[in-house]
A and B are shown apart, each in its own frame.
Chain A
């Protein structure tokens, strides 16, 4: 059955499912463990009477949750990166000389490492930053932790990439890819068990002051005194204790590891991977053209934008939906205005202002799946006419400008408009803007990506496209990402909401989304 699924790639589900499964599984697992532990230990009373201690506990629990989530994300993203590399090779790239090949490897190497490391590094930094601030450490420690962890994760990526590259040399590329998929599913399950052994919940102890070193040490799974993860703990521990001798030693070890793994990956990729990639590429039926310089001229973009406007104008069904949308926006604002919520510290007020972000994001996602996602399919086969003149990248770019910018403005208007009606403080305003800005951009990018991936030129009706696989997948992915980010940020928001502490400004600078 699995083999059939892999071979046929039913519903195209193989591509990103690994990332989604591991994120969802680990997130649910960590939250369930944390919640069960919390309820067993402290009971319901603390939930109803939230005080500073409880908030700190919640933040710790979430930080631990992040630590549990991180390894799953990094591994799955790495494999997902490998998938992306094979599924959508840079078909427009033509290698003219050996130096081009080197540049290509360098580019791919950095791309994969960034993709797979960025998110976990940012998550860990949030966790560390929350904890170090609560425990009274300065932000320099957080920066130090970020650097140490970044080096480690990048090294890990480079080493894994080298191993994969070598494997590609000895196994048939297509078959190996299938093994990666099976391995990843198994790994996600094993990871949960391994992490369970590290017992992160032992760190939630309000009786004794938690040692920062203990917290850092949860990174060490599996535990080994000679393993690079423990070098991070040692380096940070010696930094806290101002032990220069050990600090230099472990920091040097980390840096050397980083440099070594980078060059190892670079040379193995250059030597072996290119050939495997090229062979695989031959199997793909990709029709595209190189982007000429003139594609980026304003006239071409102008023509494309004008065409988008004509298409929108001529499709009258869209107007009724736009009118309906504007009515919904008015109703939403009126509801917020009429809501019997008094600004202050009440949980109801907290819920409304926090949920407001999620609402605007979901509106943005719904509109993206209605307007952006079907826009490429709506062109039908007619797109072949213009693909003979310009390339797909430019068409996508025009869609991004035409639909993306208004949607972007709309979602910011919705979230901030709602908050202004509710009367909020400056921090919440910036926090909301920041989240809406990034999540809307992410949604628009995802919609464009899916519109290309699941393009069906035989279905030109947007209403039919909305119920297609790609659209449903888009909504699910957006829902998972937005809820994950908002859940992970909730402790920080809670801390600000109940404490009015300047710590939150510090958090904003150190928060992952600032990098």
Chain B
């Protein structure tokens, strides 16, 4: 569904992304991991079409995104890391507005609003202004806004970062359910456990370069430890293993 070929991005003489290439197939979950400032959000902004100032090719359904990106808008749902909603709209008005922009009919929007409200247990927040929402509620509204159009591709930037454990669990179930429906999901996360459970394919990015890519099993084979989990692989590949050893020595 999605294919990036040698994507590079330079801002203020700083190379944010350097020849990034990967592929996301239909019904797959692609985990995109990396330390802070490694270029995860920049990649997701390019995938969402929010940033078109890059070199390289972004192919979606066999066609160049840059030349035809409008026709792809309706098939992509994007949840940013910090969903900022419209401060002077109520929750219901916000979701109605997003649904209207996707040209969904009013009755269907109402049904979807009620359905997702019950699912995420946020119906009591529907008649309050978005500017008063706490972080976790905003994230849930961001998720609904991305899902309201039933997109084929979902781009999730740290979807559980502000959620409580039960909501985070709900999101994990949701991601699995969406996968079973054949949706393709691109996921960036710092919670390696989530990536390990959910993702079919993982890429690790550091300083704008993909340093490892493949299934979890193939990544395990590449590391020195045979019984390594994803956290060990991540720390070894990103060169941050020494921190783990340091903490262990502190414990001792």
Candidates A286, A386, A460; contact of B131 at CB < 8 Å? A460
Closest to B50 in A: A287
Give min CB distance, B44 to chain A, whole Å. 11
Candidates B45, B51, B86, B98; contact of A311 at CB < 8 Å? B86
**A385 pairs with B73, CB closer than 8 A:** no
Q: Chain A: interface residue count, which band?
A: 35 or more
Instruction: Indicate the member of B87, B90, B131 with the most A CB atoms within 10 Å.
Output: B87
Give the docked Cα–Cα distance between A300 and B73 (Å).
Answer: 14
Give the docked Cα–Cα distance between A160 and B45 (Å).
Answer: 40
Give the docked Cα–Cα distance between A386 and B94 (Å).
Answer: 11
Give the docked Cα–Cα distance between A304 and B86 (Å).
Answer: 12
Q: Which residues of A contact B88 (CB under 8 A)?
A: 310-312, 314-315, 378
Give min CB distance, B104 to chain A, whole Å. 10
Count chain B residues whose beta carbon lies closer than 8 angstroms to a beta carbon of A. 40
**A460 pairs with B87, CB closer than 8 A:** yes
Candidates A284, A290, A389; contact of B102 at CB < 8 Å? A389
Contact A285/B11 with A307-B97, A384-B50 known, Cβ cut-off 8 Å: yes
Q: Which residues of B contact A300 (CB under 8 A)?
A: 100-101, 103
Q: Which residues of A contact B145 (CB under 8 A)?
A: 385
Give min CB distance, B34 to chain A, whole Å. 21
Interface of chain B, main secondary structure = mixed
Give min CB distance, A388 to chain B, whole Å. 5
**A299 pairs with B76, CB closer than 8 A:** no
Contact A299/B100 with A289-B69, A307-B86, A314-B89 known, Cβ cut-off 8 Å: yes
Give the docked Cα–Cα distance between A388 and B82 (Å).
Answer: 15
Interface residues of B in 115-143 (CB under 8 A from A): 129-131, 142
**A292 pairs with B103, CB closer than 8 A:** no
| Residue B61 at the chain A interface, CB threshold 8 Å | no
Instruction: Indicate the member of B11, B52, B82, B86 with the most A CB atoms within 10 Å.
Output: B86
**B84 pairs with A382, CB closer than 8 A:** yes
Candidates B67, B73, B85, B93; contact of A292 at CB < 8 Å? B73
Q: Which residues of B contact A389 (CB under 8 A)?
A: 73-74, 98, 101-102
Give the docked Cα–Cα distance between A306 and B85 (Å).
Answer: 16
**B70 pairs with A289, CB closer than 8 A:** yes
**B103 pairs with A297, CB closer than 8 A:** yes
A-B pairs with beta carbons under 8 Å apart, 24 shown = A96-B67, A287-B45, A287-B52, A287-B53, A289-B73, A291-B70, A292-B71, A299-B100, A300-B103, A307-B86, A310-B93, A312-B88, A379-B87, A381-B84, A382-B85, A382-B86, A382-B130, A385-B142, A386-B97, A387-B50, A388-B48, A389-B101, A457-B84, A460-B87
